[in-house]
Amino acid sequence: MRRPSSAAALKCKANVAYTDEQNALFGGFEAGALALTGDAETVSTGLGVRVNLGGDWAASASWSAGISRVTPLAGGLFANVSDLRTTAYGMALARRGLFGANDAIGFGISRPLHIVDGSALFIASTGVTKSREIIYSTETIDFASATPETDFEFGYTAQLAGGVSFQANAIYQLNLGGLSSSEAVAAFATVKTVW
């Protein structure tokens, strides 16, 4: 028989981080002809909240935001990059003890890290004059997406007999990578044991 849940408890956490990347931005390494970033410094902050709803149910939410100062790679396609402002957030609902005392199920919706403000000055050759001089043109590229990606996720975990654990996840991604109407579906399951 399961014990009655205690009164709702609220837990909060906050963090501040500083990241300095070389030839990379937001953790993605750049190399070759398409390398654009020489140096990127990011200051970010995040907040998280978890509340016990009673009856083995819990809800959580998180939010983070950051500002990145990007130095374009010398000789690259970008002449200048403005400060990039990013954000990410999500919420989830989970329940322990669905079929027994050692399992849990959860549902979540989130917006992964995405740029909400920022642009770059792009320089490219567009032609050649009769005297064989290269013609360059400039264009401002807006990095902010009007349709940021949204992820919907379902997860189930269980501790089985003999130290065996099982986990299954399914995710539906809408506007994948910020591209309007692009979609993706993924699912996976893992079984772990200890001996």
pLDDT tens-digit series, residues 72-104? 887 777 888 899 999 999 999 999 988 888 899
Within a domain: 99 = yes
Domain extent, residue 185, equals 10-192
Within a domain: 2 = no
Number of domains in the chain: 1
Within a domain: 3 = no
pLDDT tens-digit series, residues 132-190? 888 888 888 899 988 999 999 999 999 988 789 999 999 999 999 888 889 999 999 99
Within a domain: 41 = yes
Within a domain: 4 = no
C-alpha–C-alpha distance, residues 180 and 148, integer Å: 8
pLDDT > 90 fraction of the chain, expressed in percent and rounded: 55
Within a domain: 1 = no
Within a domain: 123 = yes
Task: Indicate the pTM of the whole model.
Answer: 0.79
